[in-house]
Amino acid sequence: MSRRGLRYFTLSEIKPRIWFMLAGCNFRCRGCFRPARDVDGALLTPEETLKKAEQACLNYYGKLATEAIITGGEPTIDKEYLLSLIRGLKKKGIEEIVLITNGYEIGKEENGNYASDLKQAGLTEAYVDVKAFSDRIHKWYTGMSNKPVLNAIKKLNDAGIELLVQTVYMPGIVDEQEIEKIAEFLSSLDKELKYQISPFSITFAREKVTRLPTIEEMKCAYEIASKYLPNAMVSRSGCAREYPILPPQKTWITVFPDLTFERRTVKEQHEEHIKWLGSARPREEINEDRVREVELHDKILRTRF
């Protein structure tokens, strides 16, 4: 049975909810902000991963979680592992099983109908990133074509999996023009699709490929997307699942593969990012970017979209 690197689980303090942080990714996004992109962590089979997840929940909640979110890195790169993990979660009675993905593997022809297989295994919802509509920009930014990604969205929607499609607004790279094309494409599949636009995170980007968007640019992108999709929205926080409304959650429980756990604040999680960036970005620049990014998020919270 195949194995994947597990960096850690995260447990919510709001409800019995567990995130699986799987290591490794098939993309090399220039602005990647996820330390789990790199292969590391404890190498585990799906059964071993499930056993540890169950133990982590029992230790902390005294019962199993009701919701599981599988993220990374990229969770789909080993189909057999992912399907076994989802089947196991379903068997344990987890009601909501959510996948956060770049979609590429799901849409590849050689992977058969990966989307239907995910549905059958028990997946209830997927968050899929469309990083760019133009294949040229997508290849430049991620190293891969976006054709399988667009195909994945169609297949996941056809399979009846609830979808949230996400795009990061990158001034001068993925701005109004790209967002309009993505929104038009999504609307041609299903006008009811949920579409979320987030500002480029300059603070923790591996490579600062662009600047932070302005609030006016975010508003303009939202208005353009809304012409095609009534369910377009602008991201109001780092985690739509954990705090769609204020006040934001300030701490999470990190459970490591040896089942030791730590309550970590947002600041401590940021330190993990800074460590990962290493010498790629000077700390002084990161601190300055952080101030500007917090100001933008504050404006977004106060703006009616």
Q: Least distance to ligand SF4 from the beta carbon of 35, Å? A: 9
Tell me: does residue 235 bind ligand SF4 (CB under 6 A): no
- Give the total of residues touching ligand SF4 (CB under 6 A): 10
First to last CA, the chain: 47
Alpha helices in the chain (DSSP H): 46-61, 79-91, 104-107, 114-121, 135-142, 147-158, 176-189, 215-228, 266-277, 283-302
Nearer to ligand SF4, 17 or 131 (CB): 131
Per CB under 6 A, the list member of 4, 7, 17, 37 interacting with ligand SF4 is 37
Tell me: does residue 74 bind ligand SF4 (CB under 6 A): yes
Per CB under 6 A, the list member of 34, 119, 155, 241 interacting with ligand SF4 is 34
Burial of 191 (0-12, 13-18, 19+ CB in 10 A): exposed
How far is 174 from 183, CA to CA, in rounded Å?
A: 13
Nearer to ligand SF4, 57 or 273 (CB): 273
Q: How far is CA 238 from CA 10, 63, 165, 198, 241, in A?
A: 15, 27, 15, 9, 9
Per CB under 6 A, the list member of 6, 21, 25, 97 interacting with ligand SF4 is 25
Piece of the chain touching ligand SF4 by CB under 6 A; list 21-29, 196-204, 229-237, 254-262: 21-29
Query: Footprint of ligand SF4 on this chain (CB under 6 A)?
Result: 25, 27-29, 32, 34, 37, 73-74, 102
